[in-house]
């Protein structure tokens, strides 16, 4: 079985987070078996990981040129590894492939999240009694493999009761539902070495190597991720697996345009983004007299739209009977998906834009989207979107959920430049009132004002508005402690 990833990208950590890659300079059975056990337990539902033998590591990064493994040793190492895997209980066998990388052989071990978790492994795999010796539950903690604490063991048993939906077999579907062209196109697009070999393989053989099927030989079934991403008609089994874009240029609904994107979810995402980019995103170039360079601003920075919509495709539940919807008005773009943020993310973290998911709903979908570079690493979507909005001088995102977090609506506001003059005036007045309300009780520094306004730091919009209010004598600066200045509402 071949490993369907681009090895160059894998070793250089371009498509898989560094916490999911472990480099080993040589074959060390104890450490390797413990890491296989930890990745198979996949306590964070991230999709397991990769162990690359023959690559030295320094400060978390591979050392080039790679050391490699002597070709004469490879067969023996593979045979030994099969035996050592019997020290994992229940038995777990990863996918292993020797790869010639820049004139040196490395051994790539692909460990996907196991169906039989929780797994435990012998602390010492050497000797005849190794399989009977004390076994421990190993997990990944950041970039390290460790023995699970009692509390972590409880968590491991809890998450092991539920296999992520995208990684489950679809008992209603058949292998024939998987499209060999879509699978081969994916391998070609990511630059996988499996692409050339796939020219002589059947659809089942390719799906097996891509781990898109499971079950006994007499009843092999495609996984849900296979149907969602490598079937031309995923709606046959997932009726609402689609993206609906509604463009409402007028509040009355006049000239409203509706577009529905179906097919493999990665194609839906690409087509919906292309449509929004071509028909919604606009730019203007403004010449600022105080600066030599012209300023380019967008009504909506495309990077923010891309991150939020990609996040929705990645994190939505495909068991719900609701599509992803994108609602475009002159004031905002609202992207809604089901369900909302996981309960592990507190309301305070959401308010502070410190959104870090602990457990992922669709670990396999995430891996495939990363390979296609449609999403980046874990917990990067919202920070990247916020960065794009700040760089564009736009207001930040707003979130809407019900008490049960059954849905999530993310609103991307239009840049104020693109609003009508009356709307701009109203919005500016409302924003200034918010600043005045924050300064009414006590004078604040700019940093304190930013926090009071709900920002994590001083924004460009806040700075510009404060400068305008100072010029208009609405607020004033006073001396604070040390060399700091504070702001207060000016007495009438």
Q: Rounded mean pLDDT of 359-375? A: 88
Q: How far apart are CA 342 and CA 359, in angstroms?
A: 8
Report pLDDT for 100: 95
R_g (Cα) of the chain, nearest Å: 27
* Planar angle of CA 194, 197, 200, nearest 5 degrees: 140
Q: Any idea what DSSP says for residue 407?
A: -
Contacts of 82 (CB under 8 A, 6+ apart): 93
In this prediction, residue 359 has a pLDDT band, given cuts at 50, 70 and 90, of low
Q: Any idea what DSSP says for residue 361?
A: S
Read off the pLDDT of residues 138-188 as tens digits, 9 standing for 90 and up: 999 989 999 999 999 999 998 888 888 999 999 999 999 999 999 999 999
Contacts of 272 (CB under 8 A, 6+ apart): 243, 245, 259, 261, 309, 326
Return the structure tokens found at 127.
């000797």
Q: How far apart are CA 397 and CA 112, in angstroms?
A: 35
Q: Rounded mean pLDDT of 55-81? A: 95
The answer to whether residue 132 scores a pLDDT higher than 70 is: no
In this prediction, residue 108 has a pLDDT band, given cuts at 50, 70 and 90, of very high
Report pLDDT for 378: 61
Q: Which residues pair with 122 in a beta bridge?
A: 135
Report pLDDT for 460: 76
Q: Rounded mean pLDDT of 12-32? A: 94
Read off the pLDDT of residues 402-422 as tens digits, 9 standing for 90 and up: 999 999 999 999 998 898 766
Share of the chain above pLDDT 90, in %: 69
The answer to whether residue 492 scores a pLDDT higher than 70 is: no
The answer to whether residue 94 scores a pLDDT higher than 70 is: yes
Are 105 and 97 within 8 A, CB to CB?
Answer: no
Between 312 and 421, the more confident residue is 312
Average confidence score pLDDT of the chain: 91
The answer to whether residue 289 scores a pLDDT higher than 90 is: no
Q: Any idea what DSSP says for residue 148?
A: P
The answer to whether residue 245 scores a pLDDT higher than 90 is: yes
Report pLDDT for 131: 56
Read off the pLDDT of residues 252-267 as tens digits, 9 standing for 90 and up: 777 899 999 999 999 9
The answer to whether residue 201 scores a pLDDT higher than 60 is: yes
Q: Rounded mean pLDDT of 468-474? A: 90
Domains annotated for the chain, with CATH where assigned, are 7-161 (3.30.950), 175-236 (no CATH), 243-418 (3.30.565.60), 421-489 (1.10.10.10)
Q: Is 442 left (phi over 0), alpha (psi -120 to 50) or beta?
A: beta
């Amino acid at each position: 079985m071949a490993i369907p990833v681009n090895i160059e990208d894998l070793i250089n950590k371009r498509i898989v987070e560094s916490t999911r890659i472990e480099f080993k300079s040589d074959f060390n059975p104890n450490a390797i078996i413990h890491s296989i056990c930890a990745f198979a337990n996949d306590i964070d539902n991230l999709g397991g990981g990769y162990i690359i033998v023959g690559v030295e590591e320094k400060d978390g990064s591979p050392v080039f040129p790679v050391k490699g493994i002597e070709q004469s040793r490879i067969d023996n190492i593979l045979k030994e590894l099969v035996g050592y895997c019997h020290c994992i209980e229940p038995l777990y066998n990863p996918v292993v492939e020797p790869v010639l990388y820049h004139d040196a052989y490395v051994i790539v071990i692909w460990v996907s999240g196991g169906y039989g978790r929780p797994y435990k492994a012998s602390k010492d795999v050497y000797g005849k009694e190794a399989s009977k010796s004390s076994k421990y539950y190993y997990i990944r903690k950041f970039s390290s493999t460790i023995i699970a604490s009692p509390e972590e063991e409880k968590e491991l048993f809890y998450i092991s009761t539920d296999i992520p939906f995208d990684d489950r077999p679809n008992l209603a579907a058949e292998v024939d539902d998987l499209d060999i062209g879509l699978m081969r196109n994916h391998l070609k697009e990511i630059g996988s070495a499996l692409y050339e070999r796939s020219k002589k393989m059947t659809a089942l053989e390719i799906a097996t190597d891509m781990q898109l099927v499971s079950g006994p030989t007499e009843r092999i079934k495609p996984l849900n991720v296979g149907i969602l991403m490598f079937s031309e008609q995923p709606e046959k089994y997932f009726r609402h697996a689609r993206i609906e874009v509604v463009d409402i240029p007028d509040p009355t609904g006049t000239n409203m345009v509706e577009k529905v994107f179906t097919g493999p979810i990665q194609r839906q995402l690409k087509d919906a983004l292309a449509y929004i980019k071509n028909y919604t995103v606009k730019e203007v170039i403004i010449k600022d007299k105080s600066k030599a360079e012209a300023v380019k601003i967008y009504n909506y920075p495309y990077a923010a739209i891309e991150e939020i919509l990609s996040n929705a495709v990645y994190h939505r539940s495909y068991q719900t009977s609701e599509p992803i919807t994108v609602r475009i008005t002159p004031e905002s773009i609202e992207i809604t998906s089901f369900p909302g943020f996981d309960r592990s993310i507190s309301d305070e973290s959401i308010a502070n834009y410190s959104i870090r998911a602990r457990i992922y709903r669709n670990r396999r979908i995430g891996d495939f989207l990363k390979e296609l570079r449609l999403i980046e690493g874990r917990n990067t979507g919202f920070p990247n979107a916020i960065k794009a909005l700040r760089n564009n001088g736009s207001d930040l995102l707003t979130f809407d959920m019900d008490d049960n977090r059954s849905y999530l609506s993310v609103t991307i506001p239009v840049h104020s430049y693109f609003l009508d003059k009356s709307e701009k005036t109203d919005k500016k007045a409302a924003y200034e009132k918010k600043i005045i309300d924050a300064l009414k009780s006590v004078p604040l520094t700019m940093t304190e004002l930013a926090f009071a306004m709900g920002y994590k730091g001083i924004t460009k919009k806040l700075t510009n508005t404060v400068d305008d209010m100072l010029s208009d004598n609405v607020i004033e600066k006073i001396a604070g402690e040390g060399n700091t200045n504070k702001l207060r509402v000016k007495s009438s």
